[in-house]
């Protein structure tokens, strides 16, 4: 069964999503808030594409995000998300994440102490997520599942809004907020990556090979002992040979290239060592890949710094 994004019509919307994810992967970003912001951009493009799929283009962002989580992920993957360490770590994050719009509306001053009653009001969304998580764990059902997804979307949207607002405050720069945002982003980044992984059917289980890692090629041993399967596929881009090695450049407007894709549940744990083997002349990105009559998202090693 095809996922909502896997058709020819929808895959065009996904290119911008992949561009944001690939930016995080390939450019040095030192602040966690900047990584978080890029991943939220990827999710924003994803829920916009989902709106188009459902023909609901005028839907507000928070409703769009909630719809994406409640209707745009396979049920089996939702269960995996609920059991994940990433979600558990977000739920248990301390101190609870505050809604800075609530603080601003209550005329919070950056250099002042946040009163306990105001802190409680500002952490309402996080406390609702904790409650929804406990309720689902205690009594899993369609209702508690939907509520947990909704409360997850709401808290993540608060984080997105907090980061977007920056340190601006009517009473001066809010440096303490910047410190809180950085710590919060550390807990949120794994959740965003997990959601993108599940929405797009686990891209890190898939690796497109066009050079020496392919079956019968000089470095086939890198993948040979990993339990998995090969599939024929097509990718769009250009290949150049430099110093005897093939270098690929992704270009969705280029001609199709016939190649192969390796699929394995064990691949995610092997990718860091393959990254090391490929070295600095290649970087691993996500691209759209055609397999028969559907599109999938998979990893590929793109030439780094070579002019095409």
Counting residues of the chain whose pLDDT is more than 90, the rounded percentage is: 83
pLDDT, tens digit (0-9, with 9 covering 90-100), for 13-56: 999 999 999 999 999 899 999 999 999 999 999 999 999 999 99
Tokens, residue 84: 């994940």
User: In 196-276, at which residue ranges do the beta strands (DSSP E only) sit?
Assistant: 206-209, 229-242, 245-250, 256-263
Instruction: Report the half-sphere exposure of 225 (CA within 13 A, side-chain side).
Output: 4
Residues 45 and 162 in one domain: yes
Q: Pick from 6, 1, 4: which is nearest to 297 by CA?
A: 6
What's the pLDDT at 139?
97
Instruction: Quickly count: other Cβ atoms within 10 Å of residue 70's Cβ.
Output: 17
Q: Does pLDDT of 99 surpass 80?
A: yes
- Crossing angle for the helix pair 32-53 and 8-26, to the nearest 10 degrees: 180
- The mean pLDDT value for 256-266 works out to 97
Q: Does pLDDT of 3 surpass 70?
A: yes
**Residue 12, strand partner residues:** none
pTM above 0.85, yes or no: yes
Contact 201, 3 (CB under 8 A): yes
Q: Does pLDDT of 172 surpass 70?
A: no
Residues 216 and 229 in one domain: yes
**Domain assignment present for 228:** yes
**Domain assignment present for 117:** yes
Residues 298 and 168 in one domain: no
How is residue 58 annotated by DSSP? T
User: In the chain, at which residue ranges do the beta strands (DSSP E only) sit?
Assistant: 206-209, 229-242, 245-250, 256-263, 282-291, 294-303
* Chosen domain end from 181, 201, 221: 201
Residues 128 and 220 in one domain: no
Domain count, the chain: 2
Domain, as residue range, for 146 = 8-201
Q: Pick from 3, 48, 44: which is nearest to 21 by CA?
A: 44
Tokens, residue 183: 């710590």
Residues 214 and 121 in one domain: no
**Domain assignment present for 308:** no
Residues 133 and 73 in one domain: yes
């Amino acid at each position: 069964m095809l996922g909502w994004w896997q058709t020819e019509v929808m895959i065009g919307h996904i290119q911008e999503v992949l561009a944001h994810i690939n930016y995080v992967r390939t450019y040095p970003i030192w602040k966690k808030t900047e990584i978080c912001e890029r991943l939220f951009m990827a999710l924003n493009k994803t829920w916009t594409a989902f709106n188009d799929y459902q023909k609901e283009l005028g839907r507000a962002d928070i409703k769009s995000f909630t719809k994406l989580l409640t209707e745009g992920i396979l049920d089996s993957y939702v269960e995996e998300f609920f059991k994940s360490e990433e979600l558990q770590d977000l739920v248990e994050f301390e101190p609870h994440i505050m809604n800075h719009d609530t603080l601003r509306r209550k005329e919070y001053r950056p250099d002042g102490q946040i009163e306990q009653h105001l802190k409680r009001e500002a952490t309402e969304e996080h406390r609702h997520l904790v409650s929804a998580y406990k309720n689902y764990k205690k009594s899993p059902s369609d209702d508690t599942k939907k509520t947990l997804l909704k409360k997850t979307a709401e808290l993540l949207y608060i984080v997105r809004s907090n980061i977007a607002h920056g340190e601006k405050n009517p009473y001066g720069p809010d440096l303490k907020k910047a410190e809180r945002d950085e710590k919060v982003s550390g807990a949120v980044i794994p959740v965003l990556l997990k959601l993108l992984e599940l929405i797009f059917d686990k891209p890190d289980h898939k690796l497109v090979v066009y050079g020496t890692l392919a079956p019968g090629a000089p470095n086939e041993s890198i993948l040979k002992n990993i339990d998995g399967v090969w599939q024929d596929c097509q990718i769009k881009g250009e290949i150049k040979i430099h110093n005897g090695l093939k270098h690929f450049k992704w270009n969705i407007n280029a001609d199709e290239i016939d190649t192969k894709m390796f699929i394995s549940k064990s691949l995610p744990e092997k990718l860091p060592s393959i990254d090391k083997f490929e070295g600095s002349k290649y970087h691993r990105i996500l691209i759209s890949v055609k397999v028969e009559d559907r599109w999938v998202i998979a990893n590929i090693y793109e030439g780094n710094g070579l002019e095409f």
